[in-house]
Amino acid sequence: MLYTNLAGAIVALGFAVVTGQMQDGLAFCRASSEFVQALVAFSLCSALGQCFIYYTVTEFSPLLLATVTTTRKIFSTVYSVFRHPGASPPRLCGAPQRQRLRRSRCGVPGAGQPAATESLTAAVLFVRRQ
């Protein structure tokens, strides 16, 4: 798992540098300490979760891990439905993303991904709402 995560980090870092998003990302992290705190907390929780996954696979079996994970996801979905009974079904929520994907497949320039500033603005607004 260490090598998988390390390889993913190296590839992501390479793409961030090549696409020029590294500078924007670092500037955003410098400007938003709340985001950095949330990122560190998420990273620690992810690492702890991977420890539990590794323990379950080595001490029990991959089948038990798959069973536990599937059961947890089912209960999480059922809980979400009962917690937010008036929410729209997921198939209706992604219309703008599907439209953007269709345009990008048709060769419309710039339609596949939002601009970096739009992504940063959305991230800043998300952090401020928290």
Write the pLDDT tens digit of every residue in 58-68.
Answer: 999 999 999 99
The number of folded domains in the chain is 1
Asked whether residue 1 is domain-assigned, the answer is no
Asked whether residue 104 is domain-assigned, the answer is yes
Asked whether residue 125 is domain-assigned, the answer is yes
Asked whether residue 36 is domain-assigned, the answer is no
- What pLDDT shows up at residue 73? 93
Asked whether residue 121 is domain-assigned, the answer is yes
pLDDT tens, 75-130? 999 998 888 877 655 554 556 665 666 655 555 555 545 444 555 555 555 555 65
Work out the average pLDDT over 28-41.
Answer: 94
Asked whether residue 41 is domain-assigned, the answer is no
Would you list the DSSP string of 19-80? HTHHHHHHHHHHH-HHHHHHHHHHHHHHHHHHHHHHHHHHHT-HHHHHHHHHHHHHHHHHHH
> Which domain range does residue 124 map to?
96-130
- Give 42's pLDDT tier (boundaries 50, 70, 90): very high
The one-character DSSP state at 88 is: P
Asked whether residue 123 is domain-assigned, the answer is yes
